[in-house]
Amino acid sequence: MSPETIPETRPETRPEQTPPLRIGNASGFYGDRFDAMREMLTGGPLDVLTGDYLAELTMLILGRDRQKDPAAGYARTFLRQLEECLGLAHERGVRIVANAGGLSPAGLADAVRELADRLGIPVRVAHVEGDDLTARYSGSLAAHAYLGGFGIAACLRAGADIVVTGRVTDAALVTGPAVAHFGWRQDDHDRLAGAVVAGHILECGTQATGGNYARFTDHPRSTFLHPGFPLAEVHADGSSVITKHDGTGGVVDIGTVTAQLLYETGAVRYAGPDVTARLDSVRLTQEGPDRVRIDGVRGEPPPPTLKVGLNRLGGFRNQVVFVLTGLEVEQKAALVRDQMEAALANAKARPNEVSWELARTDRADAPTEETASALLRLVVRDADPEVVGRALSGAAVELALASYPGFHVTAPPGKGSPYGVFEAAYVEQGAVPHTAVLPDGSRVRIDPPTRTRPLANMDEELVLPGPLPDGRVRRAPLGRVAGARSGDKGGDANVGLWAPTHDAWRWLAHALTVDRFRELLPETADLTVVRHVLPNLRALNFVVEGLLGEGVASQARFDPQAKALGEWLRSRHLDIPEALL
């Protein structure tokens, strides 16, 4: 692969004369489509191929792997993909940047070198480290700071063909190559913010090309059978075009890009280690089929602190799901609940947490036994695995011939399984040893930003369109006039909604207040809900604090990552102007 060393200074050519940098994505999570790396390398021209393998839950999983084997801690899938594709990347001159290093970026870098030597492919490998702060946080299984893209940029400028990192922000996989290619500096806030937006859209892979898309029925079903992975053509001024390789499945339009842009975001100011991007400044334009231009993005100095993700074991969890079929579902649920509560109370120790949830999946006069059945889920948690293991399984199994008619469970409860807890902490940027380890082994310390700006006490401008005139309304699902995407941010959840037309936006902006949101989603009624307005996107973003308890690994609710929260909201009925239906 031997590409030219990328200059450290900004090119002298005008932005419009500098060719765009084509950055693709081949992974949105640890476990994503294995063949994506090959598909992206063979599907069309690329300069850089990125892969996002880390999430809050992944860091916990890798932390447990490292406990069992000190040499573990990175995403082994990445190595297997490289074994098939390193030759392709070398032939095509495509650089690869991935956060697959997880808890051991140096270990993965060594493994990549060993693989390249075995395959006889001459590549230069570098890595970024300094994010691991586990030793500073007693009791944590993994504590890692979210680093920015300048360490990646230093590796690329030194000629690296493969750069692996630990915990960096997802967007850093795009900002790093852009900084290296265009010579951006730390104070190029608008350019950096534009790259952050492009990186945020690419980070979840096919979610930008129609995967998990709320308005998928606007297109033929065949469109989304095998969506292609996205790529961004990033320009020297920070603008970009989101697209995909010709001939691949899925679709790239303003709707799919908006959906991903709203995913797992919070306030209008999207803070990161390199820059704070103003999401209310983003402009989207459909430039052509499967091409959406992003421009106008404004950036501000980043906060003086870095976010640190803390993962620890929270205890042990177990569950049993009782199947209740036919008549008297409520009475059957009450009987088995009383029986189980009595058994747990008489055990050596009652679990610290006991929760019940009855899902009425049954239908009257159902044509099949499955559709005639409801599900009663019991979840227990405790610090002692025995309390949630043998005590629960024994109590449930002993009821097999002594409870409600038709008694059975979806699966017998086994041993209690450990669950994790995620927390966020913050440290000064200068207190984290952000380090680029170059292909020759030399180490470069990455200086923190010289200009920072705290996020606290920054009010957002509330810019609402004029309301629709009064007219006839009809009771209908919210999803008839709005798309949505939701996700997790630690223990919080976000729900972003956007309107496909200006009139729908005029109605949505005034109709969907925080109070109405709480009415439609009663589970949020007692929680803090904050609404953020994004007029350029015709979108609202609601952040629900504490809905997910202690994070996804704690599995605090039926949908622990709030993936379907937006679809629940879209299914709720309210009075909608007939002119929009």
With vertex at residue 143, the alpha carbon angle to CA 565 and CA 433, rounded to the nearest 5 degrees, is: 125
Averaged pLDDT for residues 73-83: 96
The pLDDT assigned to 412 comes to 82
pLDDT at 9 over 50: no
Neighbours of 87 (CB within 10 A): 16
Average pLDDT, the chain: 93
The pLDDT assigned to 398 comes to 93
The model's pTM is 0.93
Averaged pLDDT for residues 158-167: 98
Which three-class secondary structure state does DSSP give residue 488?
strand
Eight-class DSSP state of 430: G
pLDDT for 369-407, tens place per residue? 999 999 999 999 999 998 999 888 889 999 999 999 999
pLDDT for 224-240, tens place per residue? 999 999 999 999 999 99
pLDDT for 174-194, tens place per residue? 999 999 999 999 999 999 999
The pLDDT assigned to 14 comes to 47
The pLDDT assigned to 462 comes to 77
High-pLDDT (> 70) share of the chain, %: 96
pLDDT for 313-348, tens place per residue? 999 999 999 999 999 999 999 999 999 999 998 888
The pLDDT confidence band at residue 16, using thresholds 50, 70 and 90, is: low
pLDDT for 275-315, tens place per residue? 999 999 999 999 999 999 999 999 999 999 999 999 999 99
The pLDDT assigned to 17 comes to 67
pLDDT at 550 over 90: no
The pLDDT confidence band at residue 172, using thresholds 50, 70 and 90, is: very high
As a whole number of angstroms, the distance between CA 115 and CA 74 comes to 15
Show contacts of 576-579: CB within 8 Å, 24+ apart. 576/473, 576/474, 576/475, 576/476, 576/478, 576/480, 576/481, 576/507, 577/468, 577/471, 577/472, 577/473, 577/507, 578/471, 578/472, 578/473, 578/474, 579/468, 579/471, 579/472, 579/503
pLDDT at 53 over 90: yes
The pLDDT confidence band at residue 410, using thresholds 50, 70 and 90, is: very high
